[in-house]
Homo-oligomer: A and B are copies of this chain.
């Protein structure tokens, strides 16, 4: 007789094949699709999301999950079963009609946003967003009731299992006590230094070539992935075929280059998830926070460090030649510039947490029903002024319309960026202790030992352990924000 576990295994393998199609069609929609394809694509993806919801929440699956609990399973299978149960419980709560409505409303809002953002059209955007918020609240309510937690916590748990707004309030509350002062100090300090903006234009094909070379240095497997362009950089696709994107600006190349380094961090995690378990939930990346820890370890811990910048500098010169603003010491300084600005994805690591905390506070209030969509711009403006001293009044494009996340209902995701930054600092510090030669290795462009350490401590484990356990195994303790503070003070003071 086939065991219940085996039946679950086959069902989740099947779901993963449909997930593959969804991932590729989703990447295509962002990176390739012409505008008139949008409506049909949304409908196709919504149809698929209904189908996978049906498969995952079939009555049998619930029964098999119960039966499998009594079967002889090894540790990995136990972990897989735990993840299966989590997926099942998360999905079984939602009626199919809500899944379909959310998928359609999200796709509509996202696709319109691509145009509305360009034209600063908050009026048009907010209409679509209201529908998305309405459906997300319904989802949050159902999840909250089932788990006996708050609406926002129920969403947060989707992206960062085990995380709560209570913990976040502590973590972010702590940040708020020291980060604004540190930011202020560093901004003042940097005012005394000379930085020269390198003179453009920077040919876009050359920027692409630079990105590809840096990806090569960072171990990206080009036989199992691609680099393309999209409005909002992301890492998509499937572990066997990881699709990362960036965007180019002729006047400035660092933003695209750093975007590529960031997404390559995500990509290497995906490309190195446990191969023998692909298709099973236990092979998935642990959480969005852990995912972001990899991209930020690549971009911030490694990418903006002087040893790494030294090793990348010759590639930059190879593409763009020596020109004003491209001498080595200025290049270093440019990549460690602290300058509060409008755009989260372009933010330096000192201002980034402020962007996240602002969004966290707004989306939490929105999901808990304390504010409405119409309240967002004023709140945004007030908090941007308060946290970063920046005026965004009337500038929706570079204000509350800059992110893709809310367009398809990804409420609860933003905190994972700053959690990721904290995990990254803790992991990189530990890796440096474990590999005494690491700083020299990096200057020489030899990242083998670092990648081996990440492979052994993070990548190969997929979702085998909880985040707490994973961090404990890797660093000896669970999340400790002191590493992040030490990193920032060490680099910028």
User: What residues of chain A have their CB less than 8 Å away from a CB belonging to chain B?
Assistant: 14, 17-18, 20-22, 24-25, 28, 32-37, 39-41, 43-45, 47-48, 51, 221-226, 237-238, 240-241, 278
Say yes or no: B223 contacts A35, CB within 8 Å. Answer: yes
Docked Cα-Cα span, A22 to B221, in Å, equals: 26
Contact of A47 among B17, B33, B237, B240 (CB under 8 A): B17
Docked Cα-Cα span, A255 to B223, in Å, equals: 29
| Copies of the polypeptide in the assembly | 2
Say yes or no: B48 contacts A18, CB within 8 Å. Answer: yes
Docked Cα-Cα span, A21 to B46, in Å, equals: 11
Say yes or no: B32 contacts A18, CB within 8 Å. Answer: no
- By beta carbon, the residue of chain B nearest A271 is B36
User: Closest Cβ of chain B: how far from A275's Cβ, in Å?
Assistant: 11
* Known contacts A17-B47, A18-B48, A20-B44; is-contact A34 B225 (Cβ 8 Å): yes
Say yes or no: A43 contacts B28, CB within 8 Å. Answer: no
Chain B residues in 8 Å Cβ range of A24: 24-25, 28, 41
Q: Specify the main secondary structure of chain A where it touches its partner.
A: helix
User: Closest Cβ of chain B: how far from A392's Cβ, in Å?
Assistant: 32
* Known contacts A39-B240, A41-B241; is-contact A222 B17 (Cβ 8 Å): no
Chain B residues in 8 Å Cβ range of A41: 20, 24, 241
Contact of A25 among B25, B37, B43 (CB under 8 A): B25
Those 6 A-B pairs whose CB atoms lie nearest each other, nearest first: A37-B241, A36-B224, A20-B44, A17-B47, A17-B44, A40-B240
Say yes or no: B33 contacts A241, CB within 8 Å. Answer: yes
Chain B residues in 8 Å Cβ range of A225: 34
Best-surrounded residue of A39, A44, A224, A278 (most CB of chain B within 10 A): A44
Docked Cα-Cα span, A34 to B221, in Å, equals: 10
* Known contacts A34-B222, A34-B241; is-contact A40 B25 (Cβ 8 Å): no
Say yes or no: B32 contacts A44, CB within 8 Å. Answer: no
Say yes or no: A25 contacts B34, CB within 8 Å. Answer: no
User: Closest Cβ of chain B: how far from A11's Cβ, in Å?
Assistant: 12
- By beta carbon, the residue of chain B nearest A33 is B241
Docked Cα-Cα span, A74 to B417, in Å, equals: 57
Best-surrounded residue of A28, A35, A51 (most CB of chain B within 10 A): A28
Docked Cα-Cα span, A225 to B37, in Å, equals: 8
Contacts A/B (CB < 8 Å), 13 sampled: A18-B44, A21-B21, A21-B22, A21-B44, A24-B24, A24-B25, A25-B25, A33-B241, A34-B224, A35-B224, A36-B223, A36-B224, A37-B237
Docked Cα-Cα span, A37 to B20, in Å, equals: 10
- By beta carbon, the residue of chain B nearest A29 is B24
Docked Cα-Cα span, A25 to B22, in Å, equals: 9
Contact of A48 among B21, B43, B240 (CB under 8 A): B21
Chain B residues in 8 Å Cβ range of A223: 34-36
Say yes or no: A241 contacts B14, CB within 8 Å. Answer: no
Docked Cα-Cα span, A469 to B311, in Å, equals: 70
User: Closest Cβ of chain B: how far from A222's Cβ, in Å?
Assistant: 6
Contact of A238 among B35, B40, B237, B278 (CB under 8 A): B40
Docked Cα-Cα span, A248 to B226, in Å, equals: 20
Docked Cα-Cα span, A36 to B17, in Å, equals: 15
Best-surrounded residue of A33, A222, A223, A238 (most CB of chain B within 10 A): A33
Chain B residues in 8 Å Cβ range of A18: 44, 47-48
Docked Cα-Cα span, A39 to B28, in Å, equals: 19
Chain B residues in 8 Å Cβ range of A222: 34
Chain B residues in 8 Å Cβ range of A237: 37
Docked Cα-Cα span, A384 to B473, in Å, equals: 67
Contact of A21 among B14, B25, B224 (CB under 8 A): B25
Docked Cα-Cα span, A224 to B38, in Å, equals: 9
